[in-house]
Structure 1
Amino acid sequence: MTNARVNIDPQFVVGAINRRLFGSFIEHMGRAVYTGIYEPGHPTADDEGFRRDVIDLVRELGVSAIRYPGGNFVSGFQWKDGIGPREQRPRRLNLAWRSIETNQVGLHEFASWTEKVGSELMYAVNLGTADTADALEVLEYANIEKGSTVSEQRIANGRTDAFGIRMWYLGNEMDGPWQLGHSPADDYAKKASRTAKALRQLDPEVELVASGSSHPTMATFPEWDRTVLEYTYDDVDYISCHGYYEEKAGDLGSFLACGVKMDRYLDTVIATADYVKALKRSDKTLNISFDEWNVWYLGDNLRSFPRQADRFYRTDEIEGNDWPETPRLAEDVYSVADAVVVGGLLISLLRHADRVTSASMSMLVNVIAPITTEPGGAAWRQTTFYPFALTSALAHGVALDVRVESDHYETDEHGSVALVDAVATHDADAGRSAVFLVNRSQSDDITVTIDLAALGTTTVLDAQTMADDDISARNTREDPDRVRPSRNPSASTAGSVLTITLPAVSWTAVSLG
């Protein structure tokens, strides 16, 4: 048995936890929209064609905000294709994902769906094949109440009230050679700056996100981010981050420590933004939107990203001149180990809560998602559903800067890494706290002692652990409840000290009050 110690003091605050930290992402890719959230004729479909079983699961997941409609898709998307009578909407070639886009779900439908699930709609504009005028028009359509030709068109299309979208993304992954409209940093930055200025002139209340490097392994990172921010720093509120993680060549030790990789990525982006702040003698501190993050197995099933970026789809399913509707793309089936890593990535995001004030787990349904559906059939929770849902439910108030004393192990990718990682949150108004912990050891349980004296509480309300003797166990259509979190009976207090045993390769959430 190995031991570790966590020290918590509510005076050491990282920052307030913005509810947007528990956002997600839906793109017109694969089955994320069609047979994912939308399936007229499904036994649970409502009067708009949305699957009520999926709505219930999204509510349970605790998703606060949803980025839409892309992603790579947005760089070729004509937003007007998705408004007006459905029978008149065009069928377009989705160049990003080599499929047919029917446009049966557009802005009106998606906004209605986000209202049903209780999430904020965040919208990305096309800065690939479109420009400032197009972005202005969709903002006017969405946010201006009435009186102009464009706003009156929205009313004629059935929406009297404005959508009131606050968060707007200025394109997507524009440093990626796979992206329609890919351009050098200077060119994108000039377009983003003039678009941001125009959008604010139309609606001064919008919050704007500049497109940062699409992955920390890009050769352009972090120079792209520096260049973009030198043009846009005064115009935007956020710079975006995207990060996907996978186990490579059986290197489980490095995979379990992906949180270290995310930490280093975020620290570099923050340092780059703060360099530009100093360069400009600015009083404004820029925040981070980590608007795509998840475990994604790109190596075997899809052509590598971004190492070989000509395709993102399964080459064994889409070939030649085939342009299918709603192909099954990137439908990863997640394991216990994947869920532990997702829990660890959430710890890293909370650890940067002072600067990461928006984040989107990518994606929400079917495509690298915590929720999976079968057309005409069931919807179920993947293993990764649970750490997200529990963290969203418990992490309120502020994130705390905790100190972890733990043995280390060596990884091929990250060097020496602590066996135990942790973060704590504290909600003084509600009198509640939470501790989130990961045990990265592949062989040993670890007993952790947590000093609660400074929190002023010794009551453990609940302790839930994700672990299994088979870390490759998954939830499937045939066995949708194979993996679930379970109560950790080892949690106990003596005086002001909490003791809990973490199984090997596990993620744990402790609720205190």
Structure 2
Amino acid sequence: MTIDPAFRIGPADRRLFGSFVEHMGRCVYGGVFEPDHPAADPLGLRTDVLDLTRELGVSVVRYPGGNFVSGYRWEDGVGPVADRPRRLDLAWKTIETNRFGLDEFMAWARLADVEPMMAVNLGTRGVQEACDLLEYTNHPGGTQLSDLRRRHGAEQPYGVRLWCLGNELDGPWQVGHKTADEYGRLAAETARAMKLIDPSISLVACGSSNRDMPTFAAWEATVLEHTYQHVDYISLHNYYDPSDGDRASLLASAVGMDAFINEVIATADHVGAKLRQPRKLKLSFDEWNVWYQARLQADLDRRGWVQAPALIEDDFTSVDAVVVGDLLITLLRHADRVGVACQAQLANVIAPIRTRNGGPAWRQSIFHPFALTARYARGTVLRTEPTGPTYDTAKYGPAPVLATVAVLDEESDELTVFAVNRGDTDLALDLDLRALTGRAGSGATTAGPTGLGHLVLDAGADPDATNTAEHPDRVVPRELETPTVDGGRCAVRLPAVSWNVLRFAGRP
């Protein structure tokens, strides 16, 4: 693989390292919020989860859903807690107490140092309710709703910049499911009205709920015919399911993500050309993860209406962690068009962070590739075109064994290469770094880059290993021998079924 700083894709937007907090299962109650927990702060927020969120490197968090938002009344979650109603949540068949709402989320986001990404309900509600929510959150004061926020203790506006125009309204499971024409017209009307209130906001139109939807691509085309001039992003959602036991296909999940992204780009660009719009629309991949989806219906069927039940609290394996690292590589490879990405979800619900009510919080295996990518993928994403073997998969056909991306931080003059070996044997990787010779942030010349370290998370020895409260560090990255660069070339070995971080410094 050859790396050249001239082959640029685009900046590694910090919004690519987003997460998702939905009122689903124990993501909120027992996850980020548990007033009776020993580690809870005066607001009821779990400080151990806050610490792990900051360590994870999360940049933006989408809230309050997800399916939940399509039946949600935002007014239920503001003001005195004692006055808030208890309601049935039709999305997840639970009782919502509304002890945690908009004001609490904004307080949590500030403490977690994340940017809030709000979703509005376009399932059971519409233009006026979305405008009311925006006025409450972003208008400085002097109106009924902005002054209501101030009476609730938030003198300054929350200043939310990112807004989702509903959620998965192409899905028949969604409360308020709509046709593409119905949703597109409503989203366009809502977008126009919201930007009259605050022209600085960015809006995300709903794309398909997943790539396998029967309306995929036709949905995007119709929705964008209505909304292209009014929105800034089109959303993508997709989960990658290990339940069928086809490990070869699971390890190639990023092949499917890559195709999905390219197909949505093609559809958006077609509509843009048809409408004579020179602006290229960005993508918001605001739900993605590994998810054992077959378990969800069993979770829903075995109980009645309860508060914050455990839902899809998947225990992620070392193989799952390699897949998550590979999906992050794919998002970075599309940094020129994917501007936002949110791993779903943050705590307990198919999450990198797990907790016990009243007990500990710990890092799942998938925590580590996310945290390290968020830490080291800073700067400019470089295009890499590796050559190497392929292997056969049932779902994607022949797939490359090797997946890579490189990120150059020109401020520190450091290069990071992220690489996945999807194969079941070790892989020798030859890196040509000669184009980096002579680079130095100070303007001085160098003899070439030098190795800084090689981190690996590999699943070859124990593919089913997981982290638990009792054994929270069973699956963690480990250091391998520091790469050696000789004459601008570097030879490294990637263990079988592994995700790797190779770091180099421009100064010797």
TM-score, normalisation: structure 2:
0.96
The one-letter code of the counterpart of 1:507 is: W
Q: 1:484 aligns with which of 459, 476, 482?
A: 476
The one-letter code of the counterpart of 2:245 is: G
How far did residue 248 of structure 1 move? Answer: 4.5
Is residue 423 of structure 1 aligned with residue 390 of structure 2? Answer: no
The one-letter code of the counterpart of 1:461 is: L
Q: 1:465 aligns with which of 453, 456, 465?
A: 456
Alignment of structure 1 residues 122-137 onto 2, 5 Å: 122-137=117-132
The 2-side partners of 1:512 and 1:489 are apart by 13
The one-letter code of the counterpart of 2:129 is: D
The 1-side partners of 2:503 and 2:89 are apart by 45
How far did residue 317 of structure 1 move? Answer: 3.5
Kindly indicate whether the alpha-carbon contact (under 8 Å) linking 2:452 and 2:482 is maintained by their aligned counterparts in 1: no
Identity %: 49
Q: 2:311 aligns with which of 302, 316, 329?
A: 329
The one-letter code of the counterpart of 1:352 is: H
Kindly indicate whether the alpha-carbon contact (under 8 Å) linking 2:452 and 2:483 is maintained by their aligned counterparts in 1: no
Q: 1:91 aligns with which of 83, 86, 90?
A: 86
Alignment of structure 1 residues 41-440 onto 2, 5 Å: 41-299=36-294, 301-303=295-297, 314-315=299-300, 317-318=302-303, 322-440=304-422
Higher RCO structure (Cα 8 Å, ≥6 apart): 1
How far did residue 429 of structure 1 move? Answer: 2.2
Greater alpha carbon shift after TM alignment, 248-257 vs 62-71: 248-257
Kindly indicate whether the alpha-carbon contact (under 8 Å) linking 1:40 and 1:49 is maintained by their aligned counterparts in 2: yes
The one-letter code of the counterpart of 1:11 is: A
How far did residue 499 of structure 1 move? Answer: 1.8
How far did residue 430 of structure 1 move? Answer: 2.2
The 2-side partners of 1:460 and 1:77 are apart by 51
The 1-side partners of 2:368 and 2:269 are apart by 35
The 2-side partners of 1:470 and 1:224 are apart by 42
* Residue of structure 2 equivalent to 1:310: none
The 1-side partners of 2:149 and 2:108 are apart by 17
How far did residue 7 of structure 1 move? Answer: 1.2
The one-letter code of the counterpart of 1:183 is: K
SS at match of 1:60: helix
SS at match of 2:22: coil
The Cα offsets for residues 58-86 of structure 1, whole Å up to 9 and x where unpaired, read as 00000000000000000000000000100
The 1-side partners of 2:474 and 2:409 are apart by 33
How far did residue 17 of structure 1 move? Answer: 1.4
Is residue 510 of structure 1 aligned with residue 499 of structure 2? Answer: no
SS at match of 1:7: coil
* Residue of structure 2 equivalent to 1:446: 427
How far did residue 51 of structure 1 move? Answer: 0.7
The Cα offsets for residues 351-401 of structure 1, whole Å up to 9 and x where unpaired, read as 000000100000000000000000000000000000000000000111111
The one-letter code of the counterpart of 2:456 is: T
How far did residue 55 of structure 1 move? Answer: 0.6
The 2-side partners of 1:84 and 1:361 are apart by 30
Greater alpha carbon shift after TM alignment, 498-507 vs 345-354: 498-507
The 1-side partners of 2:503 and 2:81 are apart by 47
SS at match of 1:404: coil
TM-score, normalisation: structure 1:
0.95
Alignment of structure 1 residues 21-32 onto 2, 5 Å: 21-32=16-27
The Cα offsets for residues 193-231 of structure 1, whole Å up to 9 and x where unpaired, read as 000000001100010000001100000001000000000
Kindly indicate whether the alpha-carbon contact (under 8 Å) linking 2:78 and 2:152 is maintained by their aligned counterparts in 1: yes
Kindly indicate whether the alpha-carbon contact (under 8 Å) linking 1:230 and 1:276 is maintained by their aligned counterparts in 2: yes
The 2-side partners of 1:247 and 1:35 are apart by 26
Q: Detail structure 1 runs of 4+ shifted over 4 Å in the superposition.
A: none
The 1-side partners of 2:300 and 2:157 are apart by 42
The 2-side partners of 1:316 and 1:284 are apart by 46
SS at match of 2:238: strand
The 1-side partners of 2:148 and 2:482 are apart by 61
The 1-side partners of 2:203 and 2:390 are apart by 40
The one-letter code of the counterpart of 2:405 is: V
How far did residue 247 of structure 1 move? Answer: 2.1
SS at match of 2:200: coil
The Cα offsets for residues 446-486 of structure 1, whole Å up to 9 and x where unpaired, read as 11111111123422222110014101100012211111000
Kindly indicate whether the alpha-carbon contact (under 8 Å) linking 1:74 and 1:125 is maintained by their aligned counterparts in 2: yes
Change (3 A) 1:272 1:156: same
* Residue of structure 1 equivalent to 2:442: none
The 2-side partners of 1:455 and 1:167 are apart by 37
How far did residue 492 of structure 1 move? Answer: 2.4
Cα RMSD (Å): 1.0
The 1-side partners of 2:386 and 2:113 are apart by 36
**Number of residues of Structure 1 aligned to a counterpart in Structure 2:** 494
The one-letter code of the counterpart of 2:328 is: L
SS at match of 2:296: coil
The Cα offsets for residues 4-42 of structure 1, whole Å up to 9 and x where unpaired, read as xx2111101111111100000010000000010011121
* Residue of structure 1 equivalent to 2:444: none
How far did residue 316 of structure 1 move? Answer: 5.4
The 1-side partners of 2:475 and 2:302 are apart by 29
* Residue of structure 1 equivalent to 2:440: none
Kindly indicate whether the alpha-carbon contact (under 8 Å) linking 1:490 and 1:501 is maintained by their aligned counterparts in 2: no
How far did residue 496 of structure 1 move? Answer: 1.2
SS at match of 2:299: coil
SS at match of 1:425: strand
Kindly indicate whether the alpha-carbon contact (under 8 Å) linking 1:166 and 1:207 is maintained by their aligned counterparts in 2: yes
How far did residue 490 of structure 1 move? Answer: 6.1
Q: Which runs of 5+ in 1 are unaligned?
A: 1-5, 304-312
Kindly indicate whether the alpha-carbon contact (under 8 Å) linking 2:243 and 2:293 is maintained by their aligned counterparts in 1: no
